[in-house]
């Protein structure tokens, strides 16, 4: 029976492995994962019930210097998410140097007085003795409650992390039902799956100028789900690249997305995709709200 809860924010620079950790913690693919920075744009909440404790994890966009209104929104999400929680995980790479992103995150964590855990990810990429310099570097910058080396990709260290986080659980009613693993609506998850395939298939400069809107989401009597999605890009030249020669690239993106959506929904899916141009949508408050980024 759940009688304790702990709300924990996962923070860090882009591409450090936050979404991989979130998925490993809850045992489900909640957040999209690619090797490109700034994959996560919004706050993602995931729920793990373990024993008498309900953990609520908040995955955040990677902290970076914003260059657009979307970037400003993402930074605000990060700053707000490291406050008013029971603990904050600062996830870093095994490098004995504190970059400006980590310095700012540490500053926010310290200002809020939030209990914090340093997770040194990607330990499979360095020798064990090299971790000592990384630990010394961060210990000199902030007093962390715990420092845990980890490989979120392999799952090494994940169980130890949940054991440490249990100390922050407070007595009280559970916040979410037993069968709930995320607060994201199905439409949003489907849109993110399509965007993940864009990130995986396209060149570096294109995906960050794209957004996905689900314009139809309906279920037939036989259980098949019909989904129509529009991919927006900022440049006409990028539209052609996303569609590809004779539609080959868009077909590949759609097929990859459909397979993942079917696994997520547990049923057959009929997916149709279109590509439209919306210039400078990342600087439009109206379009940011329309695409699910509630910029004020």
**pLDDT value at 208 more than 90:** no
What is the model's pLDDT at position 180?
Answer: 83
* Contact assessment for residue 64 and residue 53, using Cβ atoms and an 8 Å cutoff: no
What is the model's pLDDT at position 295?
Answer: 46
**pLDDT value at 70 more than 60:** yes
Q: Which of 16, 19, 48 is nearest to 31 (CA)?
A: 19
Q: Phi then psi for 90, rounded to 5 degrees? A: -100, 115
Cα of first residue to Cα of last residue in the chain, in angstroms, is 40
- Please list, in sequence order, all residues whose beta carbon lies within 8 angstroms of the beta carbon of residue 70, skipping any fewer than 6 positions away: 41, 282, 283, 288, 293, 295
Distance CA(32)–CA(193), nearest Å, equals 7
Residue identified by tokens 């964590």 is: 109
pLDDT in tens, 151-196: 999 999 999 999 999 999 999 888 888 888 887 788 888 998 998 8
pLDDT in tens, 224-266: 999 999 999 988 889 999 999 999 999 999 999 999 999 888 8
What is the model's pLDDT at position 74?
Answer: 63
CB half-sphere exposure, 166, CA atoms < 13 A: 14
Q: Phi then psi for 141, rounded to 5 degrees? A: -95, -30
- Please list, in sequence order, all residues whose beta carbon lies within 8 angstroms of the beta carbon of residue 177, skipping any fewer than 6 positions away: none
pLDDT in tens, 89-100: 999 999 999 999
* Contact assessment for residue 214 and residue 187, using Cβ atoms and an 8 Å cutoff: yes
**pLDDT value at 200 more than 50:** yes
What does the mean pLDDT of the chain come to? 86
pTM value? Answer: 0.74
């Amino acid at each position: 029976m759940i009688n304790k809860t702990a709300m924990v924010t996962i923070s860090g620079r882009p591409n450090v492995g936050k979404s991989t950790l979130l998925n490993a913690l809850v045992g489900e693919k909640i957040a999209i994962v690619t090797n490109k920075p700034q994959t996560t744009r919004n706050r993602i909440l995931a729920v793990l019930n373990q024993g008498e404790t309900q953990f609520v994890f908040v995955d955040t966009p990677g902290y970076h210097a914003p260059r657009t209104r979307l970037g400003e929104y993402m930074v605000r999400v990060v700053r707000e998410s490291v406050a008013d929680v029971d603990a904050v995980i600062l996830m870093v790479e095994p490098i004995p140097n504190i970059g400006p992103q980590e310095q700012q995150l540490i500053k926010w964590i310290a200002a809020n007085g939030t209990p914090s855990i340093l997770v040194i990810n990607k330990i499979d990429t360095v020798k064990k003795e090299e971790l000592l310099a990384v630990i010394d570097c961060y210990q000199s910058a902030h007093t962390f409650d715990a420092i845990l080396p980890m490989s979120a990709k392999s799952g090494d260290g994940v169980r130890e992390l949940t054991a440490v986080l249990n100390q922050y659980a407070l007595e009280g009613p559970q916040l979410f039902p037993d069968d709930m693993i995320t607060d994201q609506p199905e439409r949003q998850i489907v849109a993110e799956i399509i965007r993940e395939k864009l990130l995986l298939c396209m060149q570096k400069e294109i995906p960050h100028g794209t957004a996905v809107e689900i314009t139809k989401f309906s279920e037939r009597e036989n259980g098949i789900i019909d989904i129509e999605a529009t991919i927006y890009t900022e440049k006409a030249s990028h539209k052609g690249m996303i569609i590809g020669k004779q539609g080959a690239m868009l077909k590949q993106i759609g097929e990859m997305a459909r397979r993942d959506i079917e696994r997520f929904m547990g049923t057959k899916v009929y997916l149709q995709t279109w590509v439209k141009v919306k210039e400078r949508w990342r600087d439009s408050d109206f379009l940011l709200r329309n695409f699910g980024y509630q910029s004020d």
